[in-house]
């Protein structure tokens, strides 16, 4: 699961860096949005890695993570994918909105896993 998430983040990051999309935007604003995206994606990856470790320990004891945590993980991935796609399309307002949603979900995820 953690490798799949890392692949999704990598793909989203590469999509966010795609220079071929035509709409003109302020380069500084684009750079700032990409930076904001990268910070959120890195933070998400760190918490997901922690959740993977917790899940492995629970599995050894015959337990599992609460389904709410799995749902949050999927919602974070979806929000980051949406942000990456919006950056690729040079829709910075939509990208920032998706990044903000991802950050709120990451905060909830962190609380759920005790971070």
Instruction: Judge whether 21 lies within some domain.
Output: no
- pLDDT in the model for residue 107: 98
Does residue 66 lie in a domain region? yes
- pLDDT for 111 equals 96
Which range marks the domain in which residue 68 is found?
Answer: 2-16+26-113
Domain count, the chain: 1
> Which residues in the chain land under pLDDT 70?
1-23
Is position 9 within any domain? Answer: yes
Compute the C-alpha angle 30/90/47, nearest 5°.
Answer: 65
**pLDDT (0 to 100) of residue 20:** 53
Residue 54 lies in a domain: yes
pLDDT (0 to 100) of residue 24: 82
The DSSP 8-state label assigned to residue 62 in this structure reads T
pLDDT reported for residue 113: 92
Q: Which residue reads 């795609």 in tokens?
A: 18
pLDDT attached to residue 114: 87
Task: Spell out the alpha helix ranges (H) of the chain.
Answer: 2-16, 27-60, 67-88, 92-113
């Amino acid at each position: 699961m953690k490798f799949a998430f890392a692949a999704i983040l990598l793909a989203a990051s590469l999509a966010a860096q795609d220079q071929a999309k035509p709409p003109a935007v302020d380069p500084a604003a684009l750079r700032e949005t990409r930076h904001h995206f990268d910070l959120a994606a890195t933070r998400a990856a760190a918490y997901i890695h922690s959740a993977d470790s917790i899940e492995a320990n629970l599995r050894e004891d015959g337990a599992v993570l609460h389904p709410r945590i799995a749902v949050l993980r999927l919602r974070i991935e979806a929000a980051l994918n949406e942000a990456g796609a919006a950056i690729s399309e040079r829709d910075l307002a939509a990208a920032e909105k998706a990044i903000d949603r991802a950050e709120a979900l990451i905060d909830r995820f962190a609380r759920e896993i005790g971070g």
